[in-house]
Amino acid sequence: MKRIYLHPLPLRIWHWVNALLVILLIITGIQLRISGVPSLGPRHPALWVHKYAGWAMAASCVFWIVYSLVSRNLSRQYAVRRRDLKGIFRQAKFYLISIFQGEENPFRATPEEKFNPLQKLAYGAIMCIFTPILVVTGLLFNDILFFRKYILLWDVVGALNAIHVMGAYVFALYLVVHIYMATLGRTASSHLKAMIVGYEEEADEPGEEVGQGIS
């Protein structure tokens, strides 16, 4: 068994703060969506928890983008290269078929290339498209005076609401798959441990339990 240092400390801290925020936002968001904001009343804790967790989420999103740009993570880890295009099908075939046949994950994570092509796509879409969309539409709900008149003028409150909720459902779908795939490591908790300590434990010789990427 060998240990690979995959996740640097700032990213690990960011990941778990972000996870906490996402859980808070999803719980309060479901609450707000089911009962409707007007019937909850203006003093309901779900409202302000969602609001301030949302602001924190905005900060977290900005941090991730700045960190990924400065540390060149975005270009090193997330850029989809030519060989990744083939890898997409290989990886998908692995998760859909070969994993049941006991085959080994075709992708091995290294510090230089942490993510398999599917992970690149999923993480890239979530962090570069869906989280910013959720954050921006959420911020626009904050009744900021500058945007307020345009929101009223163009009558886009309902459209913003729709985009926000749609984004939230996509995020929730992603979360289900993410949590499941996090258990597909060498052991069920090895990816989780790696996200806490930073070191991923991997099988050395083929034939032992296989390490399979999170996606």
Partner 1 sequence: MAKRGTMGRHGEKKESLEPDVGWFSLNPTCSRRQTLKWGGLSVIGISVLGPVLAQGATRPLIIMEPALGLVVADPMKCVGCGRCELACTEFNDGKAAPAMSRIKVGRNLHFGPDGVSAWREGQGNWGNGLVVQDLCKQCPHPVPCANICPEDAIVLAPSGNARMVDPDKCTGCKICLRACPWEMISFDPDSRKATKCHLCNGKPKCVAACPAQSLSYVPWRDLTARVPPRLKNTVQLPSERSVACRQCHLPGQTKNVSQGIEMFQGWVKGGRPLSAREFGFKWIDLAGSILLPLAVVSVVAHAVLRKVVKR
Decide if residue 26 touches partner 1 (CB under 8 A).
Answer: no
Q: Is 41 in the site for partner 1 (CB under 8 A)?
A: yes
Told to check if 207 binds partner 1 by CB under 8 A, we report no
Beta bridge partners of 85: none
Residue 180 in the binding site for partner 1 (CB under 8 A):
yes
Tell me the C-alpha distance between 190 and 196, whole Å: 10
Number of neighbouring beta carbons within 10 Å of residue 148 = 12
Q: 140 with 150: CB under 8 angstroms?
A: no
The burial of 27, by beta-carbon neighbours within 10 Å (0-12 exposed, 13-18 middle, 19 or more buried), is given as middle
- Please tell me what DSSP assigns to residue 98: G
Kindly determine how many residues on this chain lie close enough to bind partner 1 according to the rule CB under 8 A. Answer: 33
Instruction: Work out the number of other CB atoms within 10 angstroms of the CB of residue 113.
Output: 14
Q: Closer to partner 1 at the Cβ: 80 or 162?
A: 162
* 203 contributes a contact to partner 1 by CB under 8 A: no
Out of 15, 27, 31, 33, which residue is the one contacting partner 1 (CB under 8 A)? 33
Q: Which stretch binds partner 1 (CB under 8 A): 48-56, 72-80, 107-115, 172-180?
A: 172-180
Q: Name the residues that contact partner 1, by CB under 8 A.
A: 33, 36-39, 41-43, 99-102, 143, 145, 148-149, 152, 155-159, 161-162, 165-166, 169, 172-173, 176-177, 180, 183
